[in-house]
Structure 1
Amino acid sequence: MADFSFHHGGVSVPSLDEAITWYGDVLGFELEKRFYIEAARSHTAMVRKGPLRFELFEVEGAACLPEDRRHPPRDLQTHGNKHVAFQVDDLESFLTEMEQKGADVAFVVREAFGNGCFIRDCAGNLIEFVEEANP
């Protein structure tokens, strides 16, 4: 079996500059590089936080995110990629920080199997944060 590891997730956004700022201010990502993808007509940026990378695409003439893709349970009713998820040590303190930063908290889960939440980025894309249950 070929060996591989996770490199990055990616989202399309209406404003690359706004997204770079949002991912920096809210989640602490730093701009790694900016470039243009001619075939996709996309102004693109790679942002990074430690080993985590996120690719942001501002594509000329792109459609807005459909409303159903902005709510986790409804989003699952459409096939395709859903979201990326990051682990946090303490969901409650993470949620407090997100509220202080004005993040759009879309959905919170508190279950026996673990706690988590989804926030929406500045374009409405869902990002999950999970706190794993103690064994």
Structure 2
Amino acid sequence: MHLGGAGEAIMLNSVNLRDHMLPHPTKVGADDSIAEAMHVIIDNKVSGVCVVDSQDNLVGILSELDCLRAMLDSTYNRTSPGRVRDYMASDNLVVAHPNEDIVDVAQDMLSKNKRRRPVVENGKLIGQITCRQLLRAVQQFAQ
């Protein structure tokens, strides 16, 4: 994969995703309140979190936009914001395996316009790859 601009070419060798993923992604439970999830997102300075069950199986993804939607819905309807399960994305989740090629994952994330991808092994959430980790990988190879 060639990356670069202004006449610069950076060659990113194919590497294992496991070497660049976040090994302990920020996560919440599906039964957590939206308010709790918002605190986790804000306190950890992330744009979204993985949603897991009690055995660390990935069941969804909750973004800042999902939380904003929940808060606006509750304001409009004059109700409590509800639970994570009510607003998380849970259908057709795209995940990565830790042994996937980082270049392939990066290209797929770009094509789907996604900023993060949970990393799952044997059904369990073991990490997450984000645009920031991909940028760090590119930076390491450029040096």
Question: Taking structure 2 as the reference length, what is the TM-score of the superposition?
Answer: 0.26
- Looking at secondary structure, tell me which structure has more strand per residue: 1
Whose relative contact order is higher, 1 or 2, with alpha carbons under 8 Å and at least 6 apart?
2
- Looking at secondary structure, tell me which structure has more helix per residue: 2
